Structure 1
Amino acid sequence: MATAILMPPLRARLALKAQEAAFTCRRCLHQQQSTSPTLRLLRQQRPLSRRLEQLQHSRLQSTAPTYQPSSSPLGALSQTITRNAAPHTKSAPKASSFPDTSSKSVAYWLLASATSVFGIVVFGGLTRLTESGLSITEWRPVTGSFPPRNQEDWESEFALYRQSPEFKMLNSRMTVEEFKKIYWMEWTHRLWGRVVGITFLVPTLYFIARKRVSAPMARRLLGICGLIGFQGFIGWWMVKSGLKDDLLETGSHPRVSQYRLATHLGTAFIAYLAMLWNGLHILRENRLVNNPAEGAKLLDTLRHSSLRPFRRYVAALSGLIFVTAMSGALVAGLDAGLVYNNFPWMGQNILPPKRELLDPFYSHTPDNSDLVWRNMFENPVLAQLDHRVLATTTFTAVLSLWAYARYNPAVRSMLPRSGRVAVLGLVHLVSLQVVLGISTLWYLVPTHLASAHQAGALALLSGVVVLGSRVWVPKRTLRLVQQAAAQLQGKSGGQVAKGGSEAVMRAKIWRPISS
């Protein structure tokens, strides 16, 4: 009788404990209520390991539709863990999709390809300075990779060259042995171009097929491949302009068109800068994503409003340097460096006479409507003056950027150390370039100084691209860093929640036994 009187409170107590622990469903609770008091007392006396196994099994197997895990603290904790884990499951890329970030090996390959393009640009300048670019008068993309193998092949190539305007007007006394020297220069330049194309196309296809690059980077690499192929066509288009008499001005020196030369050089510069920029971008993106806490902090600093004018200044400066380099290509194509060889004077004054700057000889219309732009692009005197003005403006702009970064309090406090180092390096590069340009004029365009001056232009462009890569904040990179930071916080929160749930479980198990 005493047992019967005490059992109803005990039954209610056991039911309340089961709901708080959230380990049993209603069906199981109903079954427990229908059992005898003796069995309930025996179950309370089971070992702890057996009870834990039974509670975990009942929690996994419960499928009652009225079960609500949020009715207990442990259930709410389970929902929190599930919500934190959901973003990671959604953001995980599929096995067949492109990764979010490109591999570092792609970046190293891009930088190596950029180095090769830098070298071929310098070698191409040497080919032009030694007047070797017109020695090969045919464009054979495949069979042209093989040089002449015997004397008969050399005689055949030399016979083709003797039909060119350059041989007739300048090199009519050239022998076969002298022809071989200029031929090897042009052949090496063309072979190098083919090597650049193959060593870029094949790895591009490999990296895309193996999913080693992100989807945007895959499109960029394919675009660079197309640019390299287009560059080969432009190269022959340029050489062709110096092989026909109808493309030359009456009485002019046999040379390629300055327009086509500038196009050929500009395309090479763009391909080089694209490789350099994307290689640096991949390395920077991987570094920021792998350390999202520091990466998010750095990007937040760079996004500060005080650095927005600085980034715009860097973008405008890169455009100015590129335009200055292209004006140098016009000077080279017109041999304008041989007109006035003193600096800062041009003759007796800072500016040459007006009749030399705007010469009606270069106008092709009766009303002289094209007088200004024709002289800008075809008159050696005005072309050299334009290059001097642009070069001086570039030098002043770089020094102004350095002063802005150093003496503006907001920029100086927000600009990271890598940015300050890049600005100082840019000052050194532009100073060296000015010295090379003036020396090239003073010494009547010697080959070694002219080639170094062309290399300096590309090095200066490289410097401003490096600076831009250190202060620019791509939206996609920012999003990836934010996602990585959120995942890192989610993992930390999940570990804390897991430890808390284990503590609650131990408390729920021990409480009925201790009571």
Structure 2
Amino acid sequence: MASLHHTPLRARLALKYAARVQEQFVCKRCLHQRQQQPAPKPWERFKAKQQTPFLRAFKTPDRLLLRTQSSAPSAASPTASSPLGALSQRITHRPPPHASSTTSSTTSSSSFPDRSSPAVGYFLLASAASVFGIVVFGGLTRLTESGLSITEWRPVTGSFPPTTPEAWEAEFALYRLSPEFKMLNSRMNVDEFKQIYWMEWGHRLWGRMVGLTFLLPTAYFILRRRVDKRMAGRLLGIGSLIGFQGVIGWWMVKSGLKDDLLETGSHPRVSQYRLTAHLGTAFLAYLAMLWNGTLVLRESRLLANPTHSLQSLLTLRDPILRPFRRALTVLAALTFTTALSGALVAGLDAGLVYNDFPWMGRPNLLPPSRELLDPFYSHTPSHADILWRNICENPVLAQLDHRLLATTTFSAILALAAYSRFSPATRALLPPNAKTAVRAVVGLACLQVTMGITTLWYLVPTPLAAAHQAGALALLSGVLVLGSRVWVPRRTFALVRQAAKLGESRAKAGRIRA
């Protein structure tokens, strides 16, 4: 301990001795030059002491620069927010964080990253597959007339089914008060009621699971900053759409549980308007998940090799492909409209009239005009609403509209495929994966038309009708996947171009160092 206590004194004595020894070995010329130089003034010695690196770190203009940087909101490293940090950067010859790369400058303005993690893309695709399944299962629930078996909406407690005979009797007593039981199932017993109850309960439970399995990972990805700011907003929007979908589902079921919402003498069923809204919202949620999932994975794949990806994106943005991209946008809207018209057909049971194709009452292709614009469906004395009322409420006109839209969509798909094949410029610029997607869309369209005609011929059997509804969503998916391979979002193009420029600058800097 004593030796350690006297260590500074011994060190000073050793340094003073070394300096005296060094002076003994100075040559005569250097000693003469030292004697010729005037002795420094006291204030000069004080000024020289102030020129140390430690004190220079607190002086202007660096100090003023640090003040301006600290006043601006940034997420730079803490080493750049103090004079000691500036000193360490100067000593190690490191550039300031804001000049290192463009990526760091963007992350300094926001805590969200520039791009989303690929795990977010896979999560969205898995969620889309779950929504696809619940849409198909919902169609089966409607076709088996099980959707009105649960007459109450209990978002939390409704997750638990009846487990005792008394609980089943209480649930069956509620169903016996519904119009469907009074008009169609008055002879149903508890065991038969259980069959339709389990279908509707499974559909509702699946919907709750879709919401939970989407919202919980979404919260994780946002809190852990695994998504960019725009994608975070989109995830929250899709989550809100899922919750809104549950509200619309009960609003739809409610239309078939009250006598005052049903027309006199009509078959107990839900409102076709609410059914269309329910199915359309499910389609929108599914398409949003599918599009954003493919977008995240596409950006990740393109940014893996930005220089090569930039050339492919520039090819897709070529003006020669502009007609193809615009036609595909119109085709996507037309396919979605055709699917919604199918929801109207399902809500009106319009598939049970004129079960022939292409005729609607042999040998005519069209039904009589009095059946198309029937004044019975008008609600005003002047019949001002006769057109749109017949379109939305007349089963004959609803089926004709669906036939025309389906035929137009099928013809548009074939025309787009022919254009992509027989136009030399378009065929040369389309990437191979887009050509494969075009062929897949043509195959899905042929399958969907075949199932639609067969469903009509065989008076809407449950398996075929459910497959036809699934085919509509599959065709929409094919069109959207094709669009993801030829459409170039501005943000994606900007990210790839920025990454390509950054890679070129780094490569140039590496060549200069070499």
Which residue is equivalent to 1:305? 319
Select 1:417's aligned residue among 423, 432, 436.
432
Report the AA paired with residue 430 of structure 2.
L
Q: Which runs of 4+ in 1 moved over 2 A?
A: 35-39, 81-96
Question: Residues 159 and 405 from structure 1, CA distance in 2 versus in 1: closer, same or farther, beyond 3 angstroms?
Answer: same
* 2:270 matches 1:256: yes
Which residue is equivalent to 2:356? 342
Which residue is equivalent to 1:239? 253
Which residue is equivalent to 1:404? 419
Question: Residues 170 and 404 from structure 1, CA distance in 2 versus in 1: closer, same or farther, beyond 3 angstroms?
Answer: same
Select 1:321's aligned residue among 311, 326, 335.
335
Report the AA paired with residue 147 of structure 2.
G
Give per-residue Cα distances to partners, 1:15-39, cap 9 Å, x unaligned: xxxxxxxxxxxxxxxxxxxx99966
Question: Residues 38 and 412 from structure 1, CA distance in 2 versus in 1: closer, same or farther, beyond 3 angstroms?
Answer: farther
Report the AA paired with residue 257 of structure 1.
S
8 Å CA contact retained: 1:85, 1:490: no
Which residue is equivalent to 1:479? 494
Q: Aligned-pair RMSD on alpha carbons? A: 2.5
8 Å CA contact retained: 1:238, 1:260: yes
Residue 267 of structure 1: CA displacement? 0.1
Taking the aligned partners of 1:83 and 1:458, their CA distance within structure 2 comes to 48
8 Å CA contact retained: 2:294, 2:484: yes
What's the secondary structure of 1:99's corresponding residue? Answer: coil
Taking the aligned partners of 2:509 and 2:96, their CA distance within structure 1 comes to 9
Select 1:451's aligned residue among 461, 466, 473.
466
Residue 250 of structure 1: CA displacement? 1.0
Taking the aligned partners of 1:397 and 1:426, their CA distance within structure 2 comes to 11
Taking the aligned partners of 1:164 and 1:488, their CA distance within structure 2 comes to 68
* 2:364 matches 1:356: no
Report the AA paired with residue 161 of structure 1.
Y
Taking the aligned partners of 1:247 and 1:347, their CA distance within structure 2 comes to 32
Relative to the length of structure 2, the TM-score reads 0.81
Question: Residues 84 and 150 from structure 1, CA distance in 2 versus in 1: closer, same or farther, beyond 3 angstroms?
Answer: closer
* Greater alpha carbon shift after TM alignment, 114-123 vs 401-410: 401-410
Taking the aligned partners of 1:211 and 1:418, their CA distance within structure 2 comes to 32
Residue 166 of structure 1: CA displacement? 0.3
Taking the aligned partners of 2:151 and 2:97, their CA distance within structure 1 comes to 70
* 2:453 matches 1:438: yes
The 5 Å alignment of 1:126-165 reads: 126-165=140-179
* 2:292 matches 1:292: no
Taking the aligned partners of 1:440 and 1:82, their CA distance within structure 2 comes to 68
What's the secondary structure of 2:460's corresponding residue? Answer: coil
Number of residue equivalences = 434
Question: Residues 86 and 446 from structure 1, CA distance in 2 versus in 1: closer, same or farther, beyond 3 angstroms?
Answer: same
Taking the aligned partners of 2:465 and 2:104, their CA distance within structure 1 comes to 57
The 5 Å alignment of 1:45-444 reads: 87-88=101-102, 91=105, 93-94=107-108, 97-348=111-362, 349-444=364-459
Taking the aligned partners of 2:109 and 2:317, their CA distance within structure 1 comes to 34
Taking the aligned partners of 2:28 and 2:376, their CA distance within structure 1 comes to 119
Residue 113 of structure 1: CA displacement? 0.4
Mark the runs of 5 or more structure 1 residues left unpaired by the alignment: 1-34, 40-59, 66-80, 500-515
What's the secondary structure of 2:214's corresponding residue? Answer: helix
Residue 341 of structure 1: CA displacement? 0.5
Give per-residue Cα distances to partners, 1:432-490, cap 9 Å, x unaligned: 00000000000010000000000000000000000011111111111111111111111
Residue 91 of structure 1: CA displacement? 3.2
8 Å CA contact retained: 2:183, 2:268: yes
Residue 93 of structure 1: CA displacement? 2.2
Give per-residue Cα distances to partners, 1:44-74, cap 9 Å, x unaligned: xxxxxxxxxxxxxxxx99x9x9xxxxxxxxx
8 Å CA contact retained: 1:84, 1:490: no
Give per-residue Cα distances to partners, 1:358-401, cap 9 Å, x unaligned: 11110101011111110000000000000000000000000000
Report the AA paired with residue 433 of structure 1.
Q
Report the AA paired with residue 277 of structure 1.
W
Which residue is equivalent to 1:462? 477
Taking the aligned partners of 1:328 and 1:271, their CA distance within structure 2 comes to 18
What's the secondary structure of 2:107's corresponding residue? Answer: coil
Select 2:506's aligned residue among 476, 483, 491.
491
What's the secondary structure of 2:123's corresponding residue? Answer: helix
Mark the runs of 5 or more structure 2 residues left unpaired by the alignment: 1-25, 31-52, 61-94
Residue 115 of structure 1: CA displacement? 0.3
8 Å CA contact retained: 1:158, 1:176: yes
Taking the aligned partners of 2:339 and 2:158, their CA distance within structure 1 comes to 31
Give per-residue Cα distances to partners, 1:262-298, cap 9 Å, x unaligned: 0000000000000000000000001111110111011
Which residue is equivalent to 1:50? none
Taking the aligned partners of 1:486 and 1:89, their CA distance within structure 2 comes to 12
Residue 84 of structure 1: CA displacement? 12
Relative to the length of structure 1, the TM-score reads 0.81
Residue 95 of structure 1: CA displacement? 10
Taking the aligned partners of 1:92 and 1:386, their CA distance within structure 2 comes to 51
8 Å CA contact retained: 2:103, 2:114: no
Taking the aligned partners of 1:89 and 1:384, their CA distance within structure 2 comes to 55
Report the AA paired with residue 422 of structure 1.
A
Taking the aligned partners of 2:414 and 2:237, their CA distance within structure 1 comes to 35
Taking the aligned partners of 1:152 and 1:216, their CA distance within structure 2 comes to 51
* Greater alpha carbon shift after TM alignment, 94-103 vs 319-328: 94-103
Give per-residue Cα distances to partners, 1:200-257, cap 9 Å, x unaligned: 0010000000000000000000000000000000000000000011111111100000
Taking the aligned partners of 1:354 and 1:271, their CA distance within structure 2 comes to 38
Amino-acid identity (%): 68
8 Å CA contact retained: 1:241, 1:247: yes
What's the secondary structure of 1:141's corresponding residue? Answer: coil
What's the secondary structure of 1:485's corresponding residue? Answer: helix
Question: Residues 92 and 383 from structure 1, CA distance in 2 versus in 1: closer, same or farther, beyond 3 angstroms?
Answer: closer
Q: Could you say which structure has the greater relative contact order, defined with CA pairs below 8 angstroms and 6 or more residues apart? A: 1
Taking the aligned partners of 2:160 and 2:110, their CA distance within structure 1 comes to 42
Residue 492 of structure 1: CA displacement? 0.8
What's the secondary structure of 1:93's corresponding residue? Answer: helix
8 Å CA contact retained: 2:331, 2:409: yes
Question: Residues 162 and 486 from structure 1, CA distance in 2 versus in 1: closer, same or farther, beyond 3 angstroms?
Answer: same
Report the AA paired with residue 506 of structure 2.
K
Question: Residues 155 and 84 from structure 1, CA distance in 2 versus in 1: closer, same or farther, beyond 3 angstroms?
Answer: closer
